Chains A and B, each alone.
Chain A
Amino acid sequence: MQKIGILLARSTFYHTISFDLYEGLRQSLKRLGRSDIKIVTENIGFGADKQQCYRSAEKLLLEENVSLVIAYIGHRTAQLLRPLFLSANKMLIVLDAGANLPQEWSASPNIFYHSLHNSLGAWLAGKQAANDGYKNGGMVTGYYDGGYLQTYSISKGFEKAGGKICFNHATGYKKEDFTMVPLKSFLKEFENPALLTLFSGDYVQWNFEELKETLNKNTPIYLSPFGFEETMLETAIHPNTKIKGVAAWSKSIENNENTLFTETIESIGRTPNLFSLLSWESAKIAIKVLDLLNNNNGNILLTAQGLHTYEFDSPRGKVKFHSKTNTSITQLYNAEIVTSEDGKCQVRIDNIISDTVEEFETMSQLELDNISSAWHNSYTCI
């Protein structure tokens, strides 16, 4: 029996993340007629403990002898595992929140990133704000979310489209330290500003609560894809201002793949979300990798070349790979957050952003000027 391994992370915000990742993969393999593939799981906590991550991956490769490993980790942890996978001649498929930038690390034929593209979405949301006519921007984030390079991409996206970052605000990571009050003076100081915000998990809700008290109705908020994560929005209070940005996915996207995905996940009593989506999609990549390895006698270089030309339909649209960074790319969505019947938040998809390959190419060529992200943990896993 063929075996694939998955490294599962946990999160205090997204309590169900490990179940979502596991079930997304399992249900998708089942739908693809590959229930014969055994899934072997290992826990990596928040993905921040290097020893735990390394030993878990080592166990999957050397003791369980899995054919490939899927892992919800970031670029930095993927680097930690890089020599192990090179040495074992095995493929690592990273389920990547996309909160960092690919150019921080060099690509390896053994590591492919299947991405939710938070930084690309942030880059596009920044551009969207400037193109909507807002030339003064404030980047608003928190101690945690601000530690990823998405901060760089949202600022650069805004500046490339003619905007100017006039102020930055990074708030604390505990509820008692979380405040948007400093924004009041900024908003008075600059004419017609827009807020470029980067939050995930509970912080999305806290942000909206605070902004409701701080903002006037004319100040728009722009969000990156994790700001559109629907399970958090369902219980978030709408701050009564314009909220726009770029989403990676929504339950409301209309296509056959999305219907199949959402209905399948709901049929087992779970709520589809970004994490189950990512692992659902990864099943197709895993099967392709297994086929390519089989056809190429385990040659990783040829397998990587095969993946570079592989395309498949997903609930988000067509997925293909950017060969320079080994990162999957799919279309993104211009979206808004509107008030639901109970005064909470819901996602409204406006239209498709289809030139994501070109935008990713441009973003991934940004000079980093020695900036780097020091967070080891998988994004949102705190």
Chain B
Amino acid sequence: MEKQKKILVLCGGKFAFQSLQALAYEKFLCGVGIGKGNDRTIDALERESEDNIVAFKSFPDKKSLKEMRIWLDEVQPDYIFSISFPFLIPEDVLSYGHDKFINFHPGPLPQYRGPMPIFEVLKNQESQTAICAHLMSSTFDQGNIIFNDIVQIENKDNYGKLTVKLSGRMAHVVINMANMVQFANKIPNRPQEETDAYYFEKPDFTDTYINWKRMGAEEITSLINACNPWNTGADACFQGEQVKIIAATVVDKPHNNKVPGMIISIDKDNSINVACSDDKQIAIEIMSTDEGIVSPKEFNLQRYIVGACFN
């Protein structure tokens, strides 16, 4: 039996917790580094690390990365796993061993490079996503791919649900990768296919805004799911007020050429039915307004809305 490999994890917060637990349980974990992170998360991780006699270090900002190489030289891990670590690892740190840094990207590569692939796959109505294990390079998400482990996306998945699902699956993928580095003679990897590659920037208002004139019902509900809960829903404008639509479903009913964005009716279950550009409707179930998070019934009490338009 070969000596157990020592793995240090660089992470960004609670998304990595299950993976850390799994690695600690299997006795792979030798250190934890957290980038940014709130005080509560940092305290919890530091305490757990102390209890488990695992090295711990916080990297609150880019400047603090200067200390990373010294820390690695002290801890001497065999491999460094990165799970949603928010900073690009500088070249002088990567020179610790270029084939020793493995990132776990929560989206398929090379198609979904960028900081928020969970948002992008949901917005693009993909039926499956992946956790990609890849070697790290001095640019984001561009190192050689080891494997893409596919994860199915359910219709009901929103950003929050898919994140929780991926966090659980991440623990399995990370343990599988740990076993690979433990037992493999060589870590197989291949360069990314640049013709399939796309880098998605962090989404801004134009990405989360519902364009009623252009978007069909499925497209709109996918955007709403992709924005829940991190953006408190998809952005829209109603009678001059910025609102967010948090939950909605597709109603496969024609609206007979009503203006896209127009509120057609209010259902018995109090959902608001809105015309979309593809002659289908969506039923809005929860919204966020200046007055708080409201059900359509509460929203309707505030004003007469049938015939009015989102724009």
A positions within 8 Å CB-CB of B: 50-51, 54-55, 58, 62, 79-80, 82-84, 86-88, 105-106, 108-109, 301
Q: Is the interface of B mostly helix, strand, loop or mixed?
A: mixed
Min CB distance, A211 to chain B, in Å?
39
Min CB distance, A329 to chain B, in Å?
20
Picked from B147, B151, B179, B186, the residue with its CB within 8 Å of the CB of A50 is B179
A108 to B177, CA, bound (A): 15
Q: Is the interface of A mostly helix, strand, loop or mixed?
A: helix
Contact between chains at A84 and B172 (CB < 8 Å): no
Contact between chains at B184 and A84 (CB < 8 Å): yes
A79 surroundings in chain B (CB, below 8 A): 172, 176
Chain B residue at minimum C-beta to C-beta distance from A63: B185
Contact between chains at B147 and A86 (CB < 8 Å): yes
Picked from A62, A80, A87, the residue with its CB within 8 Å of the CB of B179 is A80
Picked from B148, B151, B176, B189, the residue with its CB within 8 Å of the CB of A80 is B176
Known: A50-B179, A58-B184, A84-B188. 6 other contacts (CB 8 A): A51-B182, A54-B184, A55-B183, A83-B173, A83-B176, A109-B150
Min CB distance, A66 to chain B, in Å?
15
Count the A-B residue pairs with Cβ separation under 8 angstroms: how many?
54
Known: A50-B183, A80-B176, A86-B147. A106 touches B169 (CB 8 A): yes
Contact between chains at B185 and A87 (CB < 8 Å): no
Q: Most A CB atoms within 10 A — which of B148, B149, B151, B169?
A: B149
Binary interface encoding of chain B residues 114-139 relative to chain A, with 1 for a CB under 8 A from any of its CBs, else 0: 00000000000000000001000000
User: Residues of B within 8 Å of A, CB-based: how many?
Assistant: 23
Picked from B2, B150, B188, B189, the residue with its CB within 8 Å of the CB of A51 is B2
A87 to B133, CA, bound (A): 10
21 CB-based A-B contacts, threshold 8 Å: A50-B179, A50-B182, A50-B183, A51-B2, A54-B183, A55-B183, A58-B184, A80-B176, A80-B179, A82-B149, A83-B146, A83-B149, A84-B180, A86-B148, A86-B149, A87-B189, A88-B188, A106-B151, A106-B172, A108-B150, A109-B150
Min CB distance, B83 to chain A, in Å?
16
**Does B44 count as interface, using CB distance less than 8 angstroms?**
no
Chain A residue at minimum C-beta to C-beta distance from B151: A106
Picked from A51, A62, A87, A108, the residue with its CB within 8 Å of the CB of B1 is A51
Min CB distance, A247 to chain B, in Å?
34
Chain B residue at minimum C-beta to C-beta distance from A84: B180
Contact between chains at B188 and A87 (CB < 8 Å): yes
Picked from B133, B169, B186, the residue with its CB within 8 Å of the CB of A83 is B133
Contact between chains at A51 and B183 (CB < 8 Å): yes
Binary interface encoding of chain B residues 60-71 relative to chain A, with 1 for a CB under 8 A from any of its CBs, else 0: 000000000000
Min CB distance, A105 to chain B, in Å?
7
Picked from B150, B151, B169, B185, the residue with its CB within 8 Å of the CB of A58 is B185
Min CB distance, B176 to chain A, in Å?
5
Contact between chains at A82 and B176 (CB < 8 Å): yes
A87 to B173, CA, bound (A): 13
A82 surroundings in chain B (CB, below 8 A): 149, 176
A88 surroundings in chain B (CB, below 8 A): 188
A58 to B176, CA, bound (A): 14
A108 to B173, CA, bound (A): 11
Contact between chains at B2 and A83 (CB < 8 Å): no
A86 to B108, CA, bound (A): 13
Contact between chains at B147 and A83 (CB < 8 Å): yes
